[in-house]
């Protein structure tokens, strides 16, 4: 465990998973719903940006803006045109909406393959400087940016949920949706806000992680599952729980193959998922309720 490069790698992977898990958490708080389309949102942000730069010869930052706007639109459409109508039609049956969102996951993937092409594209470097040397290890610029942005996003979201009006509304609804509705709180607006903010966080994650290994239209499902697992491990008790979960899952993905060989991570992660599902489905950090 003394190889700095492995720790850096675990931190990078963990921050990515943590951001995706945070996006899950935000939507869970505001809508009580697991939005499995988050991975494809992240993919669209990374792949769309590169496609606009390479194929459409758009400058980097306008391309980023367009891709993020597309993701925000996708997130809003998911809530307004899919989840909300289905829940209304089925009397709040979230399972039906969940299956529809899973279908959106694949629709976004295939749509991205159709529009952006089916080959892997490189992620766009948002900053350019020499790799940071840490002992014998190197931190690539894209990784440094991912780490820094992750900290900023988590601090900002924590402050927003604690201090911001909409953030506190989100928490209140997350605590008890039915009571919030009875009290006349704007539940629908909060749900939409949660989907959009969650989409923004997923877009940031995709943009920042894409330079590590490129991004293709099929990246979304893997990212969806990794973010979900990070949330399951970390729990929903605090805004920092997804980051802890992400770092733990990232650590497993990096250190397990080092000590146990290449095939081991799949078994270990499956084992972790089963253990958490069976014995601690609320994750490491669960919310304490005073009685």
Partner 1 sequence: MRNPKRSLLALLIAASLVAAGCGGDDDDGGSGDSDGAEIGSGETENMPEGEPIIIGMDLDSTGPGASYSVIAGQTIEDAVEQINEDGGILGRPVRLVTENDESDPTRTPSIVRRLLDEHDADVLLLQSAGAAVQQAKSVLQEAGVPAIAPTSISQSIAEPPDNDFIYVLANPISDFVEVYCGAFEAADIETLAIMSDSSSTIAGVNDLLLPGLNDCVDIVAQEEADVDASDVNAQIARIADEDPDAVLVSSVGGNFEVVAQNTLYQQMPDVTRFSLASIGNQPETWDLANPGALEGLIYMASIDPSNPRTQELEEFLEPRRDDDWQMTAYDAQAYDSVYLLRQAIEDAGTADDPVAINEALQAIEGYEAHFGQEGFTISYGPDKHIGSDGLCGLSLVQFDADNRPSEPWDEYQPPC
Q: Can you give the binding site for partner 1, defined by CB under 8 A?
A: 3, 5-6, 9, 12-13, 28, 32-34, 36, 94-95, 98-99, 102-103, 105-106, 110, 113-114, 118-120, 122, 131, 138, 140, 209, 212-214, 216, 218-219, 221-222, 224, 228, 231-232, 253-258, 262-263, 277, 281
Q: How far is the CB of 122 from partner 1 (least distance, A)?
A: 4
Cβ neighbour number for residue 69 with a 10 Å cutoff: 13
Do residues 17 and 36 make contact, with C-beta atoms less than 8 angstroms apart?
no
Q: Which is nearer to partner 1, 155 or 213 (CB)?
A: 213
Q: How far is the CB of 69 from partner 1 (least distance, A)?
A: 26
Among candidate residues 84, 66, 50, the one with its CA nearest the CA of residue 191: 84
- Fill in the DSSP letter of residue 184: T
Q: How far is the CB of 258 from partner 1 (least distance, A)?
A: 4
Q: Which is nearer to partner 1, 167 or 220 (CB)?
A: 220
Cβ neighbour number for residue 215 with a 10 Å cutoff: 31
Q: Which is nearer to partner 1, 32 or 186 (CB)?
A: 32
Q: Which is nearer to partner 1, 140 or 166 (CB)?
A: 140
Q: How far apart (Å, rounded) are the C-alpha atoms in residues 113 and 47?
A: 10
List the structure tokens of 129: 């400087």
Q: How far apart (Å, rounded) are the C-alpha atoms in residues 53 and 45?
A: 12
Among candidate residues 60, 73, 52, 208, the one with its CA nearest the CA of residue 117: 52
Q: How far is the CB of 277 from partner 1 (least distance, A)?
A: 5
Largest CA distance in the chain: 59
Do residues 162 and 170 make contact, with C-beta atoms less than 8 angstroms apart?
no
Q: How far apart (Å, rounded) are the C-alpha atoms in residues 252 and 231?
A: 15
Q: How far is the CB of 232 from partner 1 (least distance, A)?
A: 5
Q: Which is nearer to partner 1, 107 or 149 (CB)?
A: 107
Q: Which is nearer to partner 1, 122 or 186 (CB)?
A: 122
Cβ neighbour number for residue 152 with a 10 Å cutoff: 11
Q: How far apart (Å, rounded) are the C-alpha atoms in residues 236 and 24?
A: 10
* Displacement of CA 141 from its chain's centroid (Å): 21
Among candidate residues 19, 16, 35, the one with its CA nearest the CA of residue 27: 35
Q: How far is the CB of 154 from partner 1 (least distance, A)?
A: 21
Q: Which is nearer to partner 1, 66 or 221 (CB)?
A: 221
Q: Which is nearer to partner 1, 163 or 289 (CB)?
A: 289
Q: How far is the CB of 118 from partner 1 (least distance, A)?
A: 5
Q: How far is the CB of 18 from partner 1 (least distance, A)?
A: 15
DSSP-based three-state secondary structure for 58: coil
């Amino acid at each position: 465990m003394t190889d700095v490069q492995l720790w850096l790698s675990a931190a990078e992977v963990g921050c990515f998973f943590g951001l995706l898990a945070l996006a899950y958490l935000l939507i869970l708080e505001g809508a009580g719903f697991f939005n499995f389309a988050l991975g494809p949102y992240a993919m669209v942000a990374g792949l769309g940006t590169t496609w606009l730069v390479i194929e459409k010869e758009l400058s980097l930052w306008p391309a980023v803006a367009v891709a993020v706007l597309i993701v925000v639109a996708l997130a809003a459409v998911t809530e307004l045109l899919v989840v909300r109508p289905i829940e209304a039609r089925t009397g709040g049956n979230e399972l039906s909406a969940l299956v529809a969102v899973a279908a959106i996951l694949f629709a976004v993937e295939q749509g991205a393959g159709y529009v952006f092409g089916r080959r892997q594209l490189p992620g766009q470097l948002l900053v350019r400087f020499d790799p940071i040397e840490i002992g014998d290890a190197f931190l690539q610029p894209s990784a440094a940016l991912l780490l820094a942005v992750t900290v900023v996003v988590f601090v900002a979201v924590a402050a927003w949920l604690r201090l911001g009006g909409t953030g506190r509304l989100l928490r209140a609804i997350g605590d008890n949706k039915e009571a919030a509705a009875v009290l006349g709180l704007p539940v629908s607006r909060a749900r939409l806000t949660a989907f959009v903010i969650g989409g923004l966080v997923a877009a940031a994650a995709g943009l920042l992680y894409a330079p590590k290994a490129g991004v293709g239209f099929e990246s979304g499902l893997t990212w969806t599952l990794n973010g979900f697992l990070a949330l399951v491990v970390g729990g929903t008790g605090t805004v920092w729980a997804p980051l802890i979960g992400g770092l733990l899952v990232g650590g497993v993905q990096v250190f397990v193959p080092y000590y146990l060989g290449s095939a081991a991570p799949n078994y270990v992660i499956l084992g972790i998922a089963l253990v958490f599902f069976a014995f601690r489905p609320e994750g490491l950090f669960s919310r304490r309720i005073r009685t």
